[in-house]
Every structure is written in structure tokens, then in C-alpha cells.
Amino acid sequence: DDGAYSDGEREVRKHPKVFAKGGMLIGSCGSLRMPQIIQHCMHQPAHPKGMPVMRYLVGTWVPTLRKAMVDGSALTDKENSDLVMPDDSGILLGYRGSLFTVEDDGNVGEFVIPYMAIGSGEPHAMGALCQQTMLGDTRPPEVRVRDALEIAAAHINNVSGPFTIISTVEQE
């Protein structure tokens, strides 16, 4: 969702928490400073030819992310030295045909299921996506994602539209 929530207040930001950069689709939860730094300040490191995706993410992309967070004053170098992004933040990456999560400690997860969600609406969105998968839902992914977000919004106060859905597939 495009909402920002703090102390019971909600605001809708002009710039969504999902964007494309360097061949990746990137979504975030938690800190609003973090996606700004990733989108506008972080240098996207090159992915060496032949390097496995997980090795690239763990060994190259995540250390670059942490450096960008320190350089962008979203994270101090000494404080929270075990974190690569602000506490309780997370990233969902679509990259080279797979979904990955990056947790605030830099842990990169890749899953056997073909869907993933992050943020406060995660449990409800995951339930919706699971049911769609189990029922063999053949609707376009964008429709299924929107449904999962609407279900999360129906149950979690700090999830609401507008929803920005991006894809690696060019729309006709």
C-alpha cells in the first residue's frame, strides 16, 4: 500500500513504497527513509556474470545496502552494527524470476512457494495468496496481488489503498 503510518496517523505518500531499479522490483515496509535511499542514492552493484543470485544478494547487494543506509544517515555505523537497514524494516525483491525477502539483519530469504508478502498486512495477504494458489487461480498476477492487498486492508487498520502494483511484464 502507499500509506505511511505513525502514532495512529495515516498519510498517503506521492511516491509509492514499490519501484523498479537495476532489473529488480523492490518493495519495502518499515522505515520510509530506506526506500528513498535505495531508489535515489544507492548505487546498484553489478551482478557478475555466472554468479548465483543468492551469492550476489548476500555477498554484494546486502553489503551495498548497508553502506547506503549508513551514508544516507538511516543507520549509524556503530549503533545497531548487526543491522543493514533500520530496525523492523524489510524488503521484498523480485529479481531474475524469483522473490526474495531481506530482513533488517541482512538475512536474505528465498522461498519454495511462488508468492510472498511483507509488512503489517503480511499474514492476511499470505493467506489470500495461498488460497489463490491452492485453488489454481489463473487470473493475472496483478489481480491476485490486488485482491490480497484488499483482504489485508479489510483486517489491518494500517493497510489501505491506494495500492501500487508493478510488474516486470510490460503491459500492452
Place 82 in a pLDDT band, splitting at 50, 70 and 90: confident
Tell me which of 5-14, 49-58, 92-101, 131-140 is least confident.
Answer: 5-14
Enclosing H/E stretch for 3 = strand 3-6
pLDDT at 172 over 70: no
For the chain, give the mean pLDDT.
89
Place 171 in a pLDDT band, splitting at 50, 70 and 90: very low
* pLDDT value of position 28: 94
Residue 50's contacts (CB-CB under 8 Å, 6 or more residues apart) are none
pLDDT higher for 7 or 34? 34
Peptide bond before 45: cis, by omega within 30 degrees of 0? no
Task: Judge residue 138's burial from the number of C-beta atoms within 10 Å of its C-beta, 0-12 exposed, 13-18 middle, 19 or more buried.
Answer: exposed
pLDDT at 78 over 90: no
Q: How far apart are CA 37 and CA 57, in angstroms?
A: 17
Amino acid at 100: F
**Structural contact between residues 90 and 31, judged by C-beta atoms closer than 8 angstroms:** no
* pLDDT value of position 149: 95
Packing angle, helices 33-40 and 62-71, rounded to 10: 110
* pLDDT value of position 80: 56
pLDDT at 123 over 60: yes
**Structural contact between residues 69 and 75, judged by C-beta atoms closer than 8 angstroms:** yes
- Mean pLDDT, rounded, for 86-113: 93
pLDDT higher for 6 or 156? 156
CB burial readout 75-109, b (16+ within 10 A) else e: beeeeeeebbbbeebbbbbbbeeebbbbbbebebe
Tell me which of 46-55, 108-117, 160-169 is least confident.
Answer: 160-169
